[in-house]
Amino acid sequence: MKNVYFIGIGGIGMSAIARYYKFKGFEVAGYDRTPSDLTAQLEKEGISVHYEDRPDLVPADKENTLVVYTPAIPSDLGELRKVMDEGYAVLKRSRTLGEITRGQRCLAVAGTHGKTTTSTLTAHIFTETGEGCSAFLGGISRNYGTNLLMSKNETVVVEADEFDRSFLQLFPEIAVITAVDADHLDIYGDYEHVVEAFRAFALQVSGTVIAKKGTPIRPEDTKATLLTYHYTDPGADFYAIGPKPDSCGYFHYDLKWPGGILKDIKVGAPGWVNAENSVAAAAIALTYGLEPEAVKAAIGTFQGVKRRLEVHVNTPRISYIDDYAHHPAELESAITSMREIFPGRKLTAIFQPHLYTRTRDFAPEFAAALSKVDKLILLDIYPAREEPIPGVTSEMIFKDVTAPEKVLIKKEELMDLLADEPIDVLASFGAGNIDRYIEPITKLLESRL
C-alpha cells in the first residue's frame, strides 16, 4: 500500500491513525463532513482533507490504497459506496487500530467514561519516566498538543472504545476498565449486552485486567490476573488514601497498591475525577513495572486533556470550564468536581445533548445530574450520525430539571443570551459542536475582567 484514505478523517480516533500513517511515510488524505480545529491541524501537517462527498477524490490506484472508515459515516455516502463496490481494501477504524497494535505490548483503557483522561495520563507517565510508548488517544493531550505519540519501543497505549464493539479488535497485555454503564444502547440494545461486550474484552487480555471495583467484571470473565482499583475503597488493590484538594482544586493523596504505599502524590490536573483517573493510570504503570517514584513525579506534571475539565478563564470573579461530558454519569462527576474546585460560587451550566437515542434512553438521569447546578442553559440535541426521532427533544430533559433557574434555547441564541448573563462560574458540556463556542465564550468573559 502507498495510499491510506480516510472516510471520516476528522474524528478524534481517525485523526490519530491518519497521523500515524503520515508519520510512517504513506500518502494520506480523506473526507470529513465539516471543517474543525482537528482537520485544520491535519491540513497543516500535509494531509489533504475535503468536505464534500466526492467519490472522484478517492485515489484511483485501488491496488495500492487502503481505505479506513468510521462506522459513524452513513452507509449511503457516495465515497463509501464507491470503495465497497469497486473492491478497495477497506477496514473499519477499530480493525485498523487492532492491526497496528498487534505484536506490540498493548496497554488499553476501556470504559464508558474516564478512558480518555486515564489513557492520556498513562501515556504521559510512560513518556515522562523515559520508558516511552506510542499512544492512540481519544483526546488532545495538553502536555503534547496531539492525540498521537510515537516511540521506538514496542509499548503502545490505546483508548479502547466500546462504540460499535470496536474494542474487541484489541488484545492487550494490560487493560483497565474504568466503568461499565448503560450507553450506546442504539448499538447494544440493552445493558446486558453492554456487560457482555466488556466481559468479552476482558477475555482478550493476556496479562492483567484492572477493573474499577464495582464493575461487573468477574474472575471467570478473563484468563488474565484480575485486580481492582477505586478512588477510596480500601477493598480495592489500588486506592487513594486521604485524598484532599488544595486551594486551587489539585488533589493530594497516598496511593495504596500491592507493593506498599506511595506517599504524597499530587495530581497535575484539578478535580476529584482526575484524582480517581490517576489511580487507574498509576495501576497500569506500576503493574507494568515502572519505578514508583518516577510514576508519582509524572502524575504531578500531567496537564490534562483538552475538553476534560479544561479551564479557560479562572479568576475569583469569573471562571469558565469546558468538558466533553455527554453521559449522565460523566455530567455528575464533572459537576461535583467543579463544586469542590469552586466552593460556594454560582455554577451556570450549558449542556448540548448528544444523539436522539441517548436523550431518549437517559432523559431522567440527565435531568437529575443537571439539577445539581444553579442555572441550566439547555440547548437543542446534536444529532451526529442519527435521524430525528419523533417526540424526542431537549424538552424531555428540561421538564424534569429542578435547578433554581433554567432556560431552553437553540444554540444559535446562546451568545446573545450570554451577552446579558451575569456569570460567576460557567461550564459548557457536550460531545457535539458546542466546542465551536469555546473561543467566543472565552473572549466574551475575558472582556469583563
**Domains defined along the chain, listed by start:** 3-93 (3.40.50.720), 102-300 (3.40.1190.10), 310-446 (3.90.190.20)
Element (H, E) at 120: helix 115-128
- Residue 110, classed as helix, strand or coil, is strand
Give the model's pLDDT for residue 72.
Answer: 82
Q: Which of 309, 293, 321, 359 lies closest to 116 in space, CA to CA?
A: 309
Residues 6+ apart with CB under 8 A from 188: 194, 197
Q: Which of 280, 69, 327, 102 lies closest to 175 in space, CA to CA?
A: 280
Give the model's pLDDT for residue 68.
Answer: 98
Give the model's pLDDT for residue 424.
Answer: 96
Q: What is the pLDDT along the chain (449 residues), one digit of tens a residue?
A: 899 999 999 999 999 999 999 999 999 999 999 898 899 999 999 999 999 999 999 999 999 999 999 988 888 999 999 999 999 999 999 999 999 999 899 999 999 989 999 999 999 999 999 999 999 999 999 999 999 999 989 999 999 999 889 899 999 999 999 999 988 888 899 999 999 999 999 999 999 999 999 999 999 999 999 999 999 999 999 999 999 998 888 999 999 999 999 999 999 998 899 999 999 999 999 999 999 999 999 999 999 999 888 999 999 899 999 999 999 999 999 999 999 889 999 999 999 999 999 999 999 999 999 999 999 999 999 998 789 999 999 999 999 999 999 999 999 999 999 999 999 999 999 999 999 999 999 999 999 99
Q: Which of 347, 352, 363 lies closest to 411 in space, CA to CA?
A: 352
Give the model's pLDDT for residue 121.
Answer: 98
Give the model's pLDDT for residue 143.
Answer: 96
Set of cell numbers at residue 237? 488493590
Residues 6+ apart with CB under 8 A from 186: 355, 357, 358, 386
Kindly report, residue by residue over 45-98, the tens digit of the pLDDT: 999 999 999 999 999 999 999 999 998 888 899 999 999 999 999 999 999 999
Give the model's pLDDT for residue 124.
Answer: 98
Kindly report, residue by residue over 149-193, the tens digit of the pLDDT: 999 899 999 999 998 898 999 999 999 999 999 888 888 999 999
Give the model's pLDDT for residue 119.
Answer: 97
Give the model's pLDDT for residue 164.
Answer: 83
- Residue 108, classed as helix, strand or coil, is strand
Output the average pLDDT for the chain: 95
Say if CB 107 and CB 173 are below 8 A apart.
yes
Give the model's pLDDT for residue 187.
Answer: 84
Residue 426 to residues 117, 163, 352, 398, 441, Cα–Cα distance (Å): 22, 30, 14, 19, 10
